[in-house]
Amino acid sequence: MIHLKINTCIVNLFFITLLFIQIFASEIAAQKFDKLALTPPMGWNSWNKFACNINEKLIRETADAMVSSGLRDAGYIYINIDDCWHGKRDSLGFIHPDPERFPSGMKALADYVHSKGLKLGIYSDAGNRTCGGKPASRGHEYQDAITYAQWGIDYLKYDWCDTEGLNPVGAYTTMRDALYNAGHPIVFSLCEWGNSKPWTWAKNVGHLWRTTGDISACWDGKVDHGTWSSWCVMKILDMQDGLRQYAGPGHWNDPDMMEVGNGMTANEDRAHFSMWCMLAAPLIAGNDIANMSKETKEILENKNVIAINQDSLGIQGFKYSVKDSVEIWFKPLVKGDWAFCILNRNSKPAVIDFDFNKEKVVDTIFDKDTRFDKIIYDIMDLWTKKHVGTTKELLKVTVPRHDVFMARLIKK
C-alpha cells in the first residue's frame, strides 16, 4: 500500500511538473491547431438522443454501429461524448470520468474508438459547472487540456453554462491556448450559443462556433422550457442569415447538431439534412445510430449530398430568393459546379417552374457567377440520383410539403 501511494505521488508530481512546463513554455506562440476541420466536421454526439444517460457501453456500441452501418465510410468519424461523463477532481485538481459510467477510463475508451478508425470527442464548459451540474473547466483549463491529451481526445465541445462574470473571448482563448500547449491536436468547438457574435472573433480561437441556442426535433418555431427555449430546424436556419462571410476551411458556423432520426417526418429530416449541407455546417448526427431506421440511414449516408457539405471550396450557401414560403438556395462548388436547392416550408406541395436562363445568380461575397446565359449545366437530382435535364431547359418540379429538391449543377 505504501509503495502504491509513492507511485501515485510520483505520477501526480510528473503531471504537475508537466502542467507548469506547458503553461509557461509556449505561451507566446499559443494558437489553435491548424490543418484541422478543413471541411465541416462529421460525426455523432450523445446529447440530442441520450442527454445524461450515457456510459462507456453506449459509446462502444455507437462506435461499432458507426462502422457496421456505413456511416464511418460516409465520412462520420467523430464519436463525441457530451455532458455528464464527469466524475470528481482529485486532490490535485485533475478530472476523472465517472467510475460507474466509465469504469475502464477514457484512455481505454479512446483506444477502442481509435481502433475502429474513428476519433473520440469530449465535453466541458468554461464555467464552474457544466450545464448538467458536473465539474467544469474554469480555473482548470491547463490541467484539463493535459488530461485530454493524455487520454487521446480528438475533439472538445466547450459549453457556456455557469459563466457569470466571464468574458467569452478571454475564456475561450484561454482554453485554446491550453489545448495548444498540451501538444495534442484537438478540434475546438465553441458552444457559446452566439450571444457574443463569435463569428466576428472566433476564427483564430476555434474550428467551429455555435451560432444559436439549442436545436429541437421540430420543423418550425420554438420549444419553451420555462427559463429558456430551444429552436426548431427552420428557426435555426433563419438565424444563419448574414453569417456566411465568416465561414470557411478551418472555421465554421455551427447551427447545432442534427436531429435527423429523432422524431420528425422523413421529408423534414431530408430537408434538415439538405439545408445543413447547403450551410456547410458541421454534420454531427444526434440520433440512436445503433437502432436507426432505413430511411434515417439513407438520409445520413447520401454521399452525393454529403459531397455538397464537404466541398473543399468551403463556401457556405446562400438564399437566392423566397416566394410563398418556397426558398431557392445556391452554393458554389469546386470546378465551377453549383449546388441548387428548393426548400418548401409550406404544409402542402409546391409546384415550381425555374428558368435558369432568366436568372442572374451571383455570389458577390465570394465572387462567383453562374453565368447561366453562357454556361450550360447538367442537373443531377441528389436524392433520386437521376439526371433531370440541363439548365438550358425550364426545370419543372413538385416539392412535397416540408421537403426539398436538391441538385448538383455540373458544369459541362
Residues with catalytic annotation?
159, 214
Q: In what order do the strands lie in the sheet with 155-159?
A: 252-254, 208-210, 187-190, 155-159, 119-125, 78-80, 42-45, 283-285
Which value, to the nearest 10 degrees, does the dihedral of the CA atoms of residues 157, 259, 54, 284 take? -40
From CA 207, how far away is CA 205, in angstroms rounded?
7
Contacts with 402 (C-beta within 8 Å, 6 or more apart), sequence order = 219, 265, 267, 268, 271, 344, 345, 346, 347
From CA 300, how far away is CA 302, in angstroms rounded?
6
Number of neighbouring beta carbons within 10 Å of residue 375 = 16
Angle formed at CA 116 by CA 53 and CA 305, multiple of 5 degrees:
85
Q: Which of 109, 42, 95 is nearest to 285 (CA)?
A: 42
Q: Which residue has the cell 458554389?
A: 332
Show the cell assigned to 405.
429538391
Show the cell assigned to 128.
464552474
Helix (H) or strand (E) holding 294: helix 294-300
Q: Which of 279, 242, 271, 259 is nearest to 345 (CA)?
A: 271
Show the cell assigned to 62.
455507437
Under DSSP, is residue 156 helix (H, G, I), strand (E, B) or coil?
strand
Burial of residue 208 (number of CB atoms within 10 Å: 0-12, 13-18, 19+): buried
Q: Which residue has the cell 436545436?
A: 215
